[in-house]
Amino acid sequence: MSATVFGLGLGPGDPELVTLKALRLLRACAVVAYPAPVGAPSFARAIVARWLSPAQREIVISVPMESARFPAQAVYDRAAGEIGAELAAGRDVAVLCQGDPFFYGSFMYLFGRLAERHPVQVVPGVSSLTACAAAAGTPLAARDDTLMVLPASLSEQVLLCRLAETDAAAIIKLGRHFPKVRTVLERLGLAAGARYVERGSLASERVLPLDAVNEAEVPYFSMILLHRRGEAWR
């Protein structure tokens, strides 16, 4: 009988936002696997570093960041093989996931490779969406509102069409795409009410209006939140 792989949602970055369930399972697993950009530390591991034990085996999944190669099939094939071998040997594996595993999380590439042959349990985490809304002090949606989540990598034309038809939106994966997104929001008259949130829930968190953002310094871990009707909840 195979052991279990746990996809642990660890929240947006603040260790206090790790759930009790994720922490219990993390401590109980003999093996811990996590993605890390090639040549850089793992954000997911950093969130729970204080709770890891030297007795736990760590599997680093080195993910190339070039978008054209993403998802990096060979990397996830290899990681699924390594994790599968641990499971077959009877050792439970915790896969560390920043935010929530099933909200744009790379865990789903392992889930797709492992779920048919091994027991998998997904533990939801606080997603960056709700953490950034809390940081910005802006409710995401209410009543009959539609809320759209848009990756900033979409083309200007697609962003224009989609944003024109939603009440509220979160635009994620900003980085080098920030100038394009700001231009689109200005064209739609939505820029003034939008809020930029960088590294939500971390000590380095910043919340800014769009015109105060230096577009040369926008990190990957940032998003824009907007609501077409402004403070509709008042």
Ligand X SMILES: C[S@@+](CC[C@H](N)C(=O)[O-])C[C@H]1O[C@@H](n2cnc3c(N)ncnc32)[C@H](O)[C@@H]1O
- Exposed, middle or buried: residue 167 (CB in 10 Å: 0-12, 13-18, 19+)? middle
| List 127, 159, 169, 210, residue binding ligand X (CB under 6 A) | 127
The verdict on 130 binding ligand X (CB under 6 A) reads no
Least Å from the CB of residue 14 to ligand X: 8
The verdict on 128 binding ligand X (CB under 6 A) reads yes
The verdict on 12 binding ligand X (CB under 6 A) reads yes
Q: Which stretch binds ligand X (CB under 6 A): 66-74, 100-108, 115-123, 185-193?
A: 100-108
* Nearest to ligand X of 3, 22 (CB atom): 22
| List 6, 98, 184, 227, residue binding ligand X (CB under 6 A) | 98
Cα separation of 222 and 152, whole Å?
Answer: 11
- The gap from C-alpha 126 to its chain's centroid, in whole angstroms, comes to 10
Classify residue 1 by its DSSP letter.
Answer: -
| List 21, 104, 145, 193, residue binding ligand X (CB under 6 A) | 104
CA distances from 50 to 144, 192, 199 (A): 42, 40, 20
By CB under 6 A, what part of segment 179-208 binds ligand X? 197, 199-201
3 state DSSP class of 218: coil
Cis? peptide before 71, omega within 30° of 0: yes
* Nearest to ligand X of 3, 163 (CB atom): 163
- For ligand X, how many residues bind (rule: CB under 6 A)? 21
* Nearest to ligand X of 84, 200 (CB atom): 200
By CB under 6 A, what part of segment 203-232 binds ligand X? 220-223
3-state secondary structure 87-126: HHCCCCEEEEECECCCCCCCHHHHHHHHCCCCCEEEECCC
Least Å from the CB of residue 116 to ligand X: 23
3 state DSSP class of 19: coil
Secondary structure E strands in 64-205: 93-97, 120-123, 147-151, 168-172, 195-198
* Nearest to ligand X of 42, 98 (CB atom): 98
Q: Are 221 and 198 in contact (CB under 8 A)?
A: yes
| List 5, 93, 132, 213, residue binding ligand X (CB under 6 A) | 132
Q: Are 66 and 44 in contact (CB under 8 A)?
A: no
| List 120, 172, 181, 226, residue binding ligand X (CB under 6 A) | 172
Least Å from the CB of residue 54 to ligand X: 28
Positions that interact with ligand X (CB under 6 A): 12-13, 98-100, 103-105, 127-128, 132, 172-173, 197, 199-201, 220-223
